[in-house]
Structure 1
């Protein structure tokens, strides 16, 4: 089964927080959500949705004001061939509103192992529940020795240390390992 290369960008971050990953083309959007969680450093504590050409995929809930298809039933390969400009979006945490732009950079790549896997990226991902972009900026200011009480409180919640420039590849690879185990290459793929 071929692989797909994706570039995942956390919008409105400066400098840009981004990751490049390889995933099996048969991965469904729920499993892709898990890959993004691992690659970005999120902890899978909140709702999510994908937006692809005006259609939404996620886990339907009682509060949604639009139809949402089950992410488990949507394969990335099927969606990727219908994308305008090879771009779709992923929203994580409807309170902090972490909006990600996902670019399908290449399809039909040779199968790799292990997969899914991180190829490249830059910058640390914001911690969970810090108040979106404004909280992330406050945390970075406090980590640089500047900032206000709110930023210092956020930094204290990180045990007094946060390096916004560090991409922890070892932690990402550790988080991806259980997902990789679900994709048995050689005909026994689960997606």
Structure 2
């Protein structure tokens, strides 16, 4: 079997990835090469945000009724529904310039919607190992907490020692959970291992 050709990179996209409908904002700013596939970008989002790849995902380019969806094609039914394989699409093929916006959905049950904004298109810095996260705000919500509204309820409970569910929720999220904390170094350590994660899960 012939080796798969990899498109050579020519530039860098600086992306701001923000969770939709949540206040205060939760977001990450990352830089990726333009030859990244959407599947690999899925991994950048997972690792930079702090998700655990425990649920299905999809990218959406455009809005209904003209939107195109890309994700993990499992069977012919996905194709019949119009889902395209995100392993086969390069980011540069969907981005048409700075300020371009598209969307990423994670966990269709909880419904975590991410807005992805192309903030800048930059030359490649030979001193930088891409992908890299350069900034972010606030912690990633815990998995399976019920989406935006479930997370907001969770925060209220954690901040109220008198709430009857306070102790059980503290145990569930781990005592060290701080919704206002984002660890940039930890995110980049994970991004440096992105090839390992992809080889484990995307065989």
SS in 1 for 2:151: helix
Q: Which residue of structure 1 aligns with residue 16 of structure 2?
A: 7
C-alpha contact (below 8 Å) 2:134/2:184 kept by paired residues: no
Q: Could you tell which deviates more after superposition, 131-140 or 30-39?
A: 131-140
C-alpha contact (below 8 Å) 1:19/1:118 kept by paired residues: yes
Q: 1:102 aligns with which of 104, 113, 116?
A: 116
Q: 1:177 aligns with which of 164, 189, 192?
A: 192
Q: Distance in 2 between matches of 1:149 and 1:37?
A: 32
Q: Could you tell which deviates more after superposition, 150-159 or 70-79?
A: 150-159
Q: Which residue of structure 2 aligns with residue 189 of structure 1?
A: none
SS in 1 for 2:185: helix
Q: Which residue of structure 1 aligns with residue 142 of structure 2?
A: 127
Q: Which has the larger radius of gyration?
A: 2
TM-score using structure 2 length: 0.80
Shift of 1:146: 5.3
Q: Distance in 2 between matches of 1:174 and 1:137?
A: 28
Q: 2:50 aligns with which of 41, 46, 55?
A: 41
C-alpha contact (below 8 Å) 1:21/1:116 kept by paired residues: yes
- Write the mapping of 1:31-180 to structure 2, written as runs, cut at 5 A: 31-53=40-62, 54-61=67-74, 66-81=81-96, 86-112=100-126, 113-145=128-160, 148-149=163-164, 153-179=168-194
The structure whose residues are more often strand, as a share, is 1
Inter-CA distance 110–11: structure 2 relative to 1 (3 Å threshold): same
Deviations 1:37-89 (A, max 9, x none): 00110000110000012100001246758311000011001110289x51000
C-alpha contact (below 8 Å) 2:138/2:181 kept by paired residues: yes
Q: Which residue of structure 1 aligns with residue 3 of structure 2?
A: none
Q: RMSD over aligned Cα, in angstroms?
A: 2.4
Inter-CA distance 4–59: structure 2 relative to 1 (3 Å threshold): same
Q: Distance in 1 between matches of 2:114 and 2:161?
A: 28
SS in 2 for 1:88: strand
TM-score using structure 1 length: 0.85
Q: Distance in 1 between matches of 2:193 and 2:169?
A: 30
Q: Could you tell which deviates more after superposition, 122-131 or 63-72?
A: 63-72
